[in-house]
Amino acid sequence: MKEFCMYIGKKEFAVYRTVIVRKVAEGSEKIIIKARGNNIKMAVNLALWTLRETLLKKYAVIIEDKEINKEGKPAYVSCIELTLSK
């Protein structure tokens, strides 16, 4: 089973959408979309678009808080991992 993992950053939605379409066309049966903080909204929108427009119809979602060390003090950031598959 071919799988592809994508981290959502600061690029535009269309860039990520194009990558997903290309990977599905190349035969990827599982796509993992990861994001944290302010990028979570785009990751969810991208997953919903993918489920609607491609052959990938199954999904799993993992949401968690990760501890990061910011200036010597612990801080937490929300993270999401969306797994899409056939």
Task: Name every residue whose Cβ is closer than 8 Å to that of residue 55 and which is 6 or more positions away in sequence.
Answer: 24, 86
DSSP run (H or E) holding 60 = strand 58-70
Mean pLDDT by 10 residues, the chain (86 residues): 92 94 92 94 94 91 86 86 93
Q: Are the CB atoms for 67 and 74 separated by under 8 Å?
A: yes
pLDDT for residue 70: 73
pLDDT for residue 61: 94
CATH number of the CATH domain containing 29: 3.30.110.20
Residue-range definition of the domain harbouring residue 17? 3-85
pLDDT for residue 68: 81
Q: How many domains does the chain have?
A: 1
pLDDT for residue 72: 78
Overall pTM surpassing 0.85 (yes/no): yes
Backbone angles phi, psi at 24, to 5 degrees: -65, -40
pLDDT for residue 55: 87
Q: Are the CB atoms for 39 and 9 separated by under 8 Å?
A: yes
